[in-house]
Amino acid sequence: MKALRLHGVGDLRLHDEPAPTAGAGESLLRVTAVGICGSDLHWLEDASIGDAALTKPLIIGHEFAAVIESGAQRGQRVAVDPAIACEKCEFCLEGNPNFCDHLIFAGHGSDDGALRETMAWPTRCLYPIPDALTDADGAVLEPLGVAIHAVDLSHLKPGMTVGVFGCGPIGLLTLQVARAAGATRIIATDKLAHRLEAARSLGATVVLQAADGEENAEVLALTNGQGVHVAFEAAGENAAVETAIAVTRKGGNVILSGIPSDDRTAFTASTARRKGLTIKLVRRMKHVYPRAIRLAESGMVDVRSIVTHRFPITEFEKAFSVATRREGLKVIIEP
């Protein structure tokens, strides 16, 4: 089988490797679609992300769909949860598998991910994809799950005004989930014009060009000087974090989904303190795949328009180049 491994900074190589076999409790998968995530770009650009560093050639990729190639479910198309929780530690038993003490995560650290033709994965982590959804749609269910978790953390209530700061795939999916949860006004910002246009088409009521905080006054003016009830930061940039803090109303919630390239997040403490803001960081997701599938299948969240580029695995260099330049939205590789 073909497998794409990261050997170091900017060093991706396509290998021919033996096909795996499924062990107890696993299914053999033929991978059909893999989304390139911002965290994959961190791995490519730095050979690390946060405190996790490359220790061996790693197959990255954790947003994926596949077809089961073994067992009673052979032929079933599935979306794949990239997180394998132990289901036994304190956090798992509390219903917080995203904090699992023994978590295995596809394409992270020493755990190989999905950018390969076939792989074995626990059957309990597989979710059937309805006929209405394509394989590429199935790959987008993972970032949609992150967006659902972000909105869950925000305690968003119907009728609230929200801000979405950063309109890449996670921001655009968060925007749609917030709208489905009852947000009546959604103010979205980004530096890229095509992302703002996407935000407008997916339900933002106002879109503004991000300009390192110059847009803050306009956001406040749109909310009668009070600010948004909930701010979702999905840019991974401190300027977006500062904006989220600056334009959230007193007692509001700020949800940080972005991953900063330098592993540092900074904001003006006095502003956040005097407003009594609640700030939460998003750690992947919990058990949200069934909800993600229902939202996508019903059309309440448009996952299909998030995908703007598709490449075979042999054109991985072109795929990662497009993703690195932030062209389009979601880039899919089809092994």
Q: What is the CATH number of the domain that holds 233?
A: 3.40.50.720
Report the candidate in 206, 192, 222 with the shortest Cα–Cα distance to residue 164: 206
Shared domain for 75 and 163, answered yes or no, is no
Q: How far is CA 199 from CA 30, 113, 193, in A?
A: 33, 30, 10
Dihedral Cα 207, 175, 77, 24, nearest 10 deg: 130
- Please report the pLDDT score of residue 114 as a whole number: 98
Same domain? 319 vs 230: no
pTM for the complete prediction?
0.97
Beta-bridge partner residues of 248: 228
For residue 286, is it within any domain?
A: no
Instruction: List pLDDT tens digits, range 210-257.
Output: 999 999 999 999 999 999 999 999 999 999 999 999 999 999 999 999
Confidence of residue 203 (pLDDT cuts 50, 70, 90): very high
- Range(s) of the domain holding residue 193: 145-281
Asked if 78 and 133 count as a contact pair (C-beta separation under 8 A), the reply is: no
Considering the domain architecture, whether residues 15 and 104 belong to the same structural domain is answered as yes
Considering the domain boundaries, does residue 287 fall inside one? no
Q: What is the mean pLDDT of the chain?
A: 97
- Distance set, CA 185 to CA 205, 213, 216, 301 (Å): 6, 20, 16, 17
Based on the domain organization, do 128 and 149 belong to the same domain?
A: no
In a domain, residue 114? The reply is: yes
Confidence (pLDDT) at 150: 98
Q: Give, for 121, the enclosing helix (H) or strand (E).
A: strand 118-122
pLDDT bracket for residue 76 (50, 70, 90):
very high
Confirm whether 289 is domain-assigned: no
**83 confidence band (pLDDT: 50, 70, 90):** very high
Q: Are residues 225 and 112 in the same domain?
A: no
Q: Do 179 and 230 sit in the same domain of this protein?
A: yes
Helix count (H) and strand count (E) of the chain? 10, 19
Whole-number pLDDT of residue 222: 97
For residues 153 and 277, state if they share a domain: yes
| Residue 140 within a domain | no
Would you say residue 94 lies in a domain?
A: yes
In terms of domains, do 60 and 171 share one? no
Which CATH number do you get for residue 309? 3.90.180.10
Q: What pLDDT shows up at residue 97? A: 97
Query: Are 107 and 231 members of one domain?
Result: no
Helix (H, G, I), strand (E, B) or coil at 101: coil
Q: How many CA atoms does the CB half-sphere of 320 hold within 13 Å?
A: 21
Give the number of other Cβ atoms within 10 Å of residue 121's Cβ.
26
Q: Indicate whether 16 and 112 sit together in one domain.
A: yes
Q: Examine the domain organization and report whether 116 and 163 are in the same domain.
A: no
Q: Any bridge partners for residue 31, and if so which?
A: 66
Please tell me whether residues 104 and 180 are part of one structural domain. Answer: no
- Give the tens place of pLDDT for each residue, 319-335: 999 999 999 999 999 99
What six digits make up the tokens of 94?
Answer: 């509390």
Residue 224 maps to a domain:
yes
Q: What is the pLDDT of residues 96-137, one digit of tens each?
A: 999 999 999 999 999 999 999 999 999 999 999 999 999 999
224 CB contacts (<8 Å, ≥6 apart)?
none
Q: Does residue 27 form part of some domain?
A: yes
Domain count for the chain, please give it: 2
Q: Which residues contact 27 (CB under 8 A, 6 or more apart)?
A: 68, 69, 70, 71, 73, 120, 121, 122, 123, 126
Structure tokens at 11: 């060093």
